[in-house]
Amino acid sequence: MPVIMKDNLLKRFSKYISYATTSDESSESYPSTKALLDFGDVMVEELKAIGLTQVEKDQYGYVTALLPANTTEAQPTIGFIAHMDTAPDMPGIAAPRILENYDGKDIMLDAETNTALTLADFPELADYKGQTLLVTDGKTLLGADDKAGMAEIMCAMEYLLQHPEIKHGPIKVAFTPDEEIGQGVKYFDVPKFGCDYAYTMDGGAIGELEYENFNAASAVIKIQGRNIHPGYAKNKMVNSQLIAMEFNSLLPENERPQYTQDYEGFFLLIHTEGTVEQSQLNYIIRDHDKAKFEAKKQMIQQITDFLNVKYDNRLTCEIKDQYYNMREKVEPVFYVVERAVKAMEKAGIKPKVQPIRGGTDGANLSFRGLPCPNIFAGGHNFHGKYEYVPLESMVKATEVIVNIARVD
């Protein structure tokens, strides 16, 4: 890719992250904020400006477009998807801090709070010595998840339009809202999108390629206590908070996120609140293996049942499945993974095929008939102030998109 592609990526990425598009998990609208609808309008204009056709934004905020085939040979229709929202964990940044020719040393993000990217905490930084790093101000997230993916898709489409000598079949683009709150493709019209298969540009470090993800569920435990004046509480008070603590203690400690890696699943207590009278525990449950996933859900229910016997039916448990491992839908059409592997190798990248320790829009799309592996967008440390992305990784991701589209 020419140097101008690097400059174009930086320009687009910087523009996209300047729009505040934090998704709102408490919202009852779809998309969850008006800002996402407005940002969709910006993307519609950009897609039209570079020359794509059938550009539209539907009532749910999904932005789609077509790059028509420039070859008469029959080719599959391939999609590339990225999400417009950023995580609600913290606000986004107005502009990236740009470190050209990174010296390979610790990076002070915010001296006031002594917030730094250190090699001790983030040893992978050393891999990017000499490159251009885009970092935060130490108070916000960056937004590379997933505005890096958006910029890469846009620049790849523009590059293909500018180089008609690169033959390709029909290419579809989609930008979606609310991925970060688990609602990214809730109303996405897969038949209308009309792709044989697609790729989400929503992965991490350069080379990552993922077609396996967690099976996921949520669990809400509600506990009804009985509050009595403590001076007269003997044999009467039932402290719901203590039951909540007991519930959590019965889950296996070694199956918490901080003790797991690779294919190991976990229970995560994401929120708790309570008084003597009433308490609530909110968990997420994750496992790549379907049988282990079901066993984890069963364990939550068994603990509930056990404590109900002990405490006279004071607990309720609601478990909801969220998404499933796309592996079972992708493996029968494994050529979609092989195509991405070849595209990376052609770009001089060693593919790192690994499971996602999370989920993507691609997981839900795969179960709705659109096989959709996940490709790196280049960022690190998503959802927080330590987020960064090497610009050279974004260049390579753009090159991979072009290589996937290319008809050899």
Catalytic residues: 85, 179
Please report, for residues 67, 131, 134, 158, 199, the alpha-carbon distance to residue 50 in angstroms, rounded to integers and kept in the order given. Answer: 10, 28, 25, 6, 21
Please report, for residues 85, 86, 145, 151, 366, the alpha-carbon distance to residue 25 in angstroms, rounded to integers and kept in the order given. Answer: 12, 12, 17, 25, 24
The Cα 397–Cα 390 span in angstroms is: 11
3-state percent helix, strand, coil for the chain, nearest multiple of 5: 35, 25, 40
The Cα 45–Cα 176 span in angstroms is: 16
Q: Edge to edge, what strands does the sheet with 315-323 contain?
A: 266-274, 278-287, 215-224, 315-323
Q: What DSSP letter does each residue of 17-82 carry, written as one string?
A: HTS--B--TT--SSSS-HHHHHHHHHHHHHHHHHT-EEEEE-TT--EEEEE---SSS----EEEEE
Give phi and psi for 357, each to the nearest 5.
-90, 60
Are 360 and 188 within 8 A, CB to CB?
no
Token duo for residue 280: 């609530």
Q: Which residues of 247-279 are buried (b: 16+ CB within 10 A; e: fewer)?
A: bbeebeeebeeeebeeebbbbebeeeebebbbb
Is the torsion defined by CA of 31, 32, 38, 43 positive or negative? negative
Which residue, 105, 98, 177, 172, is CA-closest to 142?
A: 98
Are 276 and 241 within 8 A, CB to CB?
yes
Which residue, 1, 43, 16, is CA-closest to 134?
A: 16
